[in-house]
Amino acid sequence: MTNEGIVRTALISGASRGIGLACAKALAETGVHVVLAARDAAKLEAAAAEIPNARWVTIDLGSADSIKEAFAKAGKIDILVNNAAVTRDGLALRMKKDDWDAVIQTNLTGAFLAVQQVLHSMMKARWGRIINISSVVGQSGNPGQANYVASKAGLIGLTKSLAQEIASRNITVNAIAPGFVDTDMTAVLSQELKDQMLAHIPLKRFGKPEDIAAAVKFLASDDASYITGAVLNVNGGMYM
């Protein structure tokens, strides 16, 4: 994506597979130079090899030091896609504090710290796109996922506050709330649970990573320049 000949650079977290990798490929198709970020160097290297002009950096969203190091290596970022997430499911009654902390730290605090790393250069350039990948459960709730749901609902709140803070600098901040998407994270669920979920999706299919990537590509584009503070639901109608 170019604007008056300017080539934009995007960093996508959790980009070694699934939704993150699909987002990286979609942005690269528009001319954006992409930086793939995740924990596994081998998977990143393999993923980056599939994308022209792609680079990669290792990052642990649970570590403030790792986040700083990764963004220092990545250089100036025009488009940030906060996609990386972890789960540590369990009923609230028995949830260990470590499981709560790990999910909030990576999914919410990590995303916030990543935003802090790009804000200065975006404000100086008076252009930027921040896209936070939330979840349908951040809107609807989900039993057994108090930590994950809280982190994804928190991303929506973060999105709205940031959008108001930095709109005057021509930086948009939006969230995408995917529904049930076929990825490695959801592949471990039982067929019975998948069938139950499918029954609640009006479009009668699960999402593909490319469905989320298409929304990211739109929100990162100049066509979405008047959209900020929005939550774009990409869920097949399972929550309205």
Residue listed under structure tokens 């471990």: 188
What does the alpha-carbon distance between residue 21 and residue 59 come to, in Å, rounded to a whole number? Answer: 15
What does the alpha-carbon distance between residue 129 and residue 31 come to, in Å, rounded to a whole number? Answer: 15
- Return the CATH number at 137: 3.40.50.720
pTM for the model stands at: 0.96
- Domain-embedded: residue 240: no
- Domain-embedded: residue 209: yes
- Domain-embedded: residue 32: yes
Per-residue pLDDT of the chain (240 residues; tens, 9 = 90+): 445 678 999 999 999 999 999 999 999 999 999 999 999 999 999 999 999 999 999 999 999 999 999 999 999 999 999 999 999 999 999 999 999 999 999 999 999 999 999 999 999 999 999 999 999 999 999 999 999 999 999 999 999 999 999 999 999 999 999 999 998 777 888 899 889 989 999 999 999 999 999 999 999 999 999 999 999 999 999 999
Q: Which amino acid is at 130?
A: I
Residue listed under structure tokens 């936070």: 132
- Domain-embedded: residue 237: no
Is 226 one of the annotated active-site residues of the chain? no
Domain containing 210 equals 2-232
- Domain-embedded: residue 118: yes
- Domain-embedded: residue 239: no
Six token digits for residue 134: 């939330």
- Domain-embedded: residue 75: yes
Structurally, how many domains does the chain consist of?
A: 1
- Domain-embedded: residue 36: yes
**Considering 148, 154, 173, 176, which one is annotated as catalytic?**
148
